[in-house]
């Protein structure tokens, strides 16, 4: 895990019994460390998003959504490394070929957006965004699948991500992290005409550090 990983994500990982090995914050840092550990100990490396089986597994979220609600006109999904968006796009195009698949990415980490627009894979270089789960670069497999199945990738600002989180927390009572709220931010602020359309949103991730929030409540009680 990168040294900049959210403490709550580290705590949850340790809670499942895993040993955490820290790396630098650049995507290449953790890739190099993972390869070295695999070579030294004979580990099998399962890529977190560019492995085809992982991609297919991620796509079951969109598959189950469409199975539940029937056909859709739009599906919005977050994009970082592209595993979730790739899998979602395969499921959506298989079940609703006419539906538009929209990837949503933080403007501060727009490598997938630029890659999609230029047709060339552009790596991420330690972007600064509150959506820490979307700081990774697209992989060769995810980029290929996205180019084949995704209709567009749009970006949202940090403020728009926070507004989407606030909406999910207050209106939907869903504790969603910034990376998961990005897809809703794309719907709210992306400028796409979706009135009277059937829209699906893939929301993924609830790793939020609420320590400061509860400390604030405790201070109010004591005062």
Look at residue 23 and tell me if it is in a domain.
yes
Residue 88 belongs to domain spanning: 52-201
Total number of domains constituting the chain: 2
Residue with tokens 């359309």: 197
Do 30 and 93 belong to one domain? Answer: no
pLDDT digits (tens, 9 = 90+) for 90-112: 999 999 999 999 999 999 999 99
Do 117 and 168 belong to one domain? Answer: yes
Instruction: Name the strand (E) or helix (H) holding 165.
Output: helix 158-167
How much is the average pLDDT of 52-74?
A: 96
DSSP state letters, 109-140: G-HHHHHHHHTS---------S-GGG-SPPPH
Residue 77 in contact with residue 185, Cβ under 8 Å?
Answer: no
Do 66 and 87 belong to one domain? Answer: yes
pTM of the shown model: 0.88
**Angstrom distance (rounded) from CA 79 to CA 138:** 9
pLDDT digits (tens, 9 = 90+) for 27-57: 788 889 999 999 999 999 889 899 999 999 9
Which of 208 and 60 is assigned the larger pLDDT?
Answer: 60
Do 85 and 29 belong to one domain? Answer: no
Do 63 and 152 belong to one domain? Answer: yes
Reduced to 3 states, what is the DSSP secondary structure of residue 194? coil
What was the pLDDT predicted at 214?
75
Residue 113 in contact with residue 119, Cβ under 8 Å?
Answer: no
């Amino acid at each position: 895990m990168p040294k900049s990983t959210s403490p709550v994500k580290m705590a949850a990982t340790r809670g499942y019994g895993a040993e955490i090995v820290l790396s630098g914050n650049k995507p290449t840092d953790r890739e190099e460390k993972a390869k070295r550990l695999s070579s030294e100990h004979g580990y099998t490396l399962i890529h977190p998003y560019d492995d085809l089986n992982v991609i297919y597994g991620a796509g079951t979220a969109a598959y189950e959504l469409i199975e539940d609600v029937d056909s859709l006109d739009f599906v919005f999904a977050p994009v970082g490394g592209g595993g979730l968006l790739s899998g979602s796009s395969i499921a959506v195009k298989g079940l609703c070929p006419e539906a538009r698949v929209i990837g949503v990415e933080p403007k501060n980490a727009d490598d997938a957006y630029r890659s999609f627009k230029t047709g060339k894979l552009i790596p991420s270089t330690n972007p600064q965004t509150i959506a820490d789960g979307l700081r990774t670069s697209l992989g060769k497999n995810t980029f290929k699948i996205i180019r084949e199945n995704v209709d567009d990738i749009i970006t949202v600002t940090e403020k728009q991500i926070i507004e989407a989180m606030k909406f999910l927390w207050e209106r939907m009572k869903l504790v969603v992290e910034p990376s998961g709220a990005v897809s809703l931010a794309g719907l709210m602020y992306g400028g796409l005409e979706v009135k009277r359309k059937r829209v699906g949103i893939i929301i993924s991730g609830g790793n939020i550090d609420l320590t400061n929030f509860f400390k604030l409540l405790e201070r109010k009680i004591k005062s």
